[in-house]
Amino acid sequence: MRTRYKILNPEALHFVTSTTVNWIKIFTEDKYYNILTDSIKFYQKQKRLRLVAYVFLPDHFHLLLQSDELCNVMKLIKSYSAKQKIRQLKSDGKESILKLLKENKKEYKTGRTYQVWQEGFQPKTIMSEYMYSQKINYIHFNPVKLELVTDPTEWKYSSAEYYVKNKAGVLSLDLD
């Protein structure tokens, strides 16, 4: 069932995580990651979110962000990216992945054929400088932990390179 999250302080930074249904690795090519980056860029341009750190991985993503309407923005990002991902998978003839997304769809989700994302996004309010640093390190070292790279700055879909080398990544950060 859908879980409602109560955001007690919408002005605070939040660490959020979203995971693909059953941890299916569906973000395997640049064009699939671009679906996520385009969605987040859209809400950045609308000033509906302020992005501080990010990482996109084959089966989940983490963001450190602020939004006055966090629940709604996350819902919109996940909804848009799911629709675009399904469209792209169909266009690419990725029947085996589509089959998995269909088989792993929750039974009560009757209005759709596929489910891309697990429900919720597990928001955690950043309460201290220590927690802020811990979450940024967690975000940036996730690709290393998963053995996708040996150095956090090598992962293209992360803000690590900005933090270490002051080099822009696939998304701009709102650090002001």
Residue ranges of domains in the chain: 14-165
Tokens 């891309």 locate to 116
Which residues sit opposite 82 in a β-bridge? none
Question: What pLDDT, on the 0 to 100 scale, is given for residue 48?
Answer: 84
Mean pLDDT of 58-85: 94
CA Rg value for the chain: 16
Q: Provide the CATH number for the domain formed by 14-165 in this structure.
A: 3.30.70.1290
- The yes-or-no verdict on residue 38 having pLDDT over 60 is yes
Residue 5: predicted pLDDT: 53
User: What amino acid is encoded at 9 in this protein?
Assistant: N
pTM: 0.90
Cα distance from N-terminal residue to C-terminal residue, the chain: 38
Look-up of token digits 């792209």? 88
Question: What percentage of residues in the chain have a pLDDT greater than 70?
Answer: 93
* Nearest alpha carbon to residue 65 among 57, 83, 80, 77: 77
pLDDT single digits (tens) 133-165: 999 999 999 999 999 999 999 999 999 999 999
Binning pLDDT at 50, 70 and 90, where does residue 7 land? low
pLDDT tens string 75-112: 999 999 999 999 999 999 999 999 999 998 777 666 78
